[in-house]
Amino acid sequence: MKTYFIKPGLRKKVIFFSLALALLPLAFSSYSMISITQNELKSAVNDTMIHAAQQSATEIDDIFTRTWRATLQLVANAVDNPDLGVDEKIALLESAIHSLDDFIVLQISVADFPPILIAQNHLQTAYQQAEASKERFTKGKAPTLQARKRLAEVQMAIGDAAFYVDQNPHYLSDADIWLLDLYYPLKNPLSSKPAMLVARINLSHIERIINKQQLNQVGQVYLLNRQGNTLFASQYGKTLTGDITHNVTALLRQQTQAISATPFTSPEGKEMLGAYAVLAHLPWAVVTTLEADKAYLTISDMLRSLLLWFCLGLLVAVLSAIWFSSHLTRPILEIAQVVRPVGEGDFSQRVKHLDSRDEISLLGENVNEMIQGLMEKFHLQKFVSGGTLAAIKQAGQEGVKLGGERRFATVLFSDIRGFTAFSEKVTPETVISMLNTYLRAQAKLVKKHHGDIDKFVGDELIAVFQGEDMVKNAILCACEIHRVIKELNKQQVWDIRVGIGINSGDMVMGAMGSEERMDYTILGDNVNLGARLCSAAQPEVTVISDYAYQAMQDFTEELEQQQITLEALKSIQVKGKIAPIKIYQVICSEKNPVYTSEPEKISWQEPQAVKPHEKNATLKSSQLPPI
């Protein structure tokens, strides 16, 4: 038996929908949970970074205002006392610098005079060497041109202000410290020249504030000036670039105090989170940054955990879906495997394994009943004509009704000559086998040439042809019938021949009989004339009517190609007709393509019960019946 392979589309659909029902809620809830957590975490991270920046900025402002600026203000007021001499002023500076570790240098700068300078003892040498290399300071000498220019710039920048902070702290590499210059103008001149108290402050305290931030464990904390330079970068290599740097420097130049958080992208393409706080009293800003991946590390851990559970859920869902779909779709697929060959005419198929006693089992039982009914109807179709089937299809739900309609068609009668004599010499089984063999061969040829078997009457076949080429098709069918019968005769010793009559015209086609038992057939005078022509035809002769002959005049060239000729015979008188009927004989040449083409193989059907007891019997052709 032929095996059919059916793609399990239903099984895939069941698996897909089972997985969808199992995983979509999980995926949606996971997405919602991650989105909510990410938003909350982002808000918390931003608050933490803003708090760190603001805290550092507040501490730096407090140191500047409460420690450095207040102390320097007191020193400046004391030094500015006109009653003090130079030695008293130097003593006062020494006392102040020894009491404050953050003050590296205190000096009084006077235009065109050497400065009065006091430095921390452990930094005096390094400081003097560094300043001398920059031409800012040379002990015991007047200020250089660069030093005087710098002093003039500071005096212009101060204007009416009480003090001035240098915009750019500088790094003292020999001492490994950062220094900030703080200028206080003295009200009373020295030697008739304007004087200024300058304090150089060690920024190590501020550096410790930046470095002690806990945020440095996962991110970075920077201190930026107006030029976008990062303080303390030379020591630790921490630099900050990107959009956030431009935003902060713009605020510093505008002297706008602000606290905010903003995401940005680093030059390396990393997604970053940033926050900044602009100092109130210094031209700097504290900036905190954190990589987004680190900020959302909790989300990443949650994603990994969810992914693990998702995979486990997917595995369980897949196994469950496969098990469920297999039990659900296996009987349906078995039904599909049965139905497909049934559609191709194999009615031996049946649905098995109907033990589940559910809706699918009931479906299988109904399919088996349907197959049984189809098989009965299929075999029943063999006993009716194609016209009968067409009428049934067109009848609709009301069924076929008695009555007929006029149709213009061509009828072909084929009758076996000498059948009576043959049936008297052989067994009934052999008679039936012979009839089945020869009638089956003729029926195939009728179908091949677009005809329809109306009925079998004993040894006679009645066929109907319709359409524009109906006469031509009937004639070609008749020629091939004679050829095939000769081929069958070669397999047996019997000399079976047929006479064929063909006529065209109006005839009634419809259901005849009663509502309980009817026959769909053709009736009419033209049908009777076709039967008379068949009776008049000699063995191996096809006789056509005058109308059929006239219809073939439109196919003259095609008849010549087929090497078929139509020869007029003597008119005959038939029962039911007053005037003689013109008839023509169809002569099929042995070179006709119908004869030269390879015939369909048709074998003799041996009788089932008894074989012929006279294989040497020879039947003589019947004579043309009297007219």
Q: Which of 96-105, 332-341, 453-462 reaches the highest mean pLDDT?
A: 453-462
Read off φ and ψ for residue 462, nearest 5 degrees.
Answer: -120, 125
- Does residue 596 surpass a pLDDT of 60? no
Query: What's the pTM?
Result: 0.46
Mean pLDDT of 98-113: 78
Please state whether 410 falls in left (phi above 0), alpha (psi between -120 and 50) or beta.
beta
pLDDT at 334 over 60: yes
What 3 state SS string does 217-282 have? Answer: HCCEEEEECCCCCECCHHHHCCCCCCHHHHHHHHHHHCCCCCEEEEEEECCCCCEEEEEEEECCCC
- Residue 287 pLDDT: 92
Specify the higher pLDDT residue, 603 or 495: 495
* Whether the predicted pLDDT of 501 surpasses 80: yes
DSSP 8-state class, residue 190: B
Q: What is the pLDDT of residues 462-473, one digit of tens each?
A: 999 998 889 999
User: What pLDDT is recorded for position 105?
Assistant: 82
* pLDDT attached to residue 449: 93
80-206 and 400-596 share one CATH topology?
no
Quick check: 302 and 36 in contact, CB under 8 A? Answer: no
pLDDT at 62: 92
Tokens standing for residue 481: 């019938």
**Is 151:166 a contact under the CB 8 Å cutoff?**
no
CA distance 365 to 352: 9
pLDDT at 432 over 90: no
Domain ranges of the chain: 80-206, 400-596
Cβ proximity of 298 and 37 under 8 Å? yes
pLDDT, tens digit, 9 for 90 and up, residues 535-594: 999 999 999 999 999 988 888 888 888 888 898 999 988 887 888 889 999 998 765 554
Question: Rounded to 5 degrees, what are φ and ψ at 21?
Answer: -65, -30
pLDDT at residue 167, rounded to an integer: 72
DSSP run (H or E) holding 212: none
- Beta-carbon contacts of 456 under 8 Å, excluding residues fewer than 6 positions away, are 439, 462
Which is it for the CA torsion 263, 265, 270, 274, positive or negative? negative
pLDDT band, very low/low/confident/very high, at 55 (cuts 50, 70, 90): very high
Outline where DSSP puts E strands in 489-559: 497-513, 518-523, 541-545
Diameter of the chain by CA atoms?
174
Query: For residue 619, which amino acid is it?
Result: L
- Both tokens of 104, joined, read 């590296």
Residue type, 468: E
> What integer pLDDT is reported at residue 384 of this predicted model?
52
For 300, the token pair is 């990443």
User: Considering only CA atoms, which of 536, 542, 538, 535 is closest in space to residue 565?
Assistant: 542
- Cα(212)–Cα(234) distance, integer angstroms: 18
Q: Which helix (H) or strand (E) holds 341?
A: helix 297-343
Of 494, 527, 493, 490, residue with least CA distance to 508:
527
- As its CATH architecture, domain 400-596 has 2-Layer Sandwich (3.30)
Higher-pLDDT residue of 387 and 44 is 44
More confident residue, 519 or 109: 109
Architecture of 80-206 per CATH? 2-Layer Sandwich (3.30)
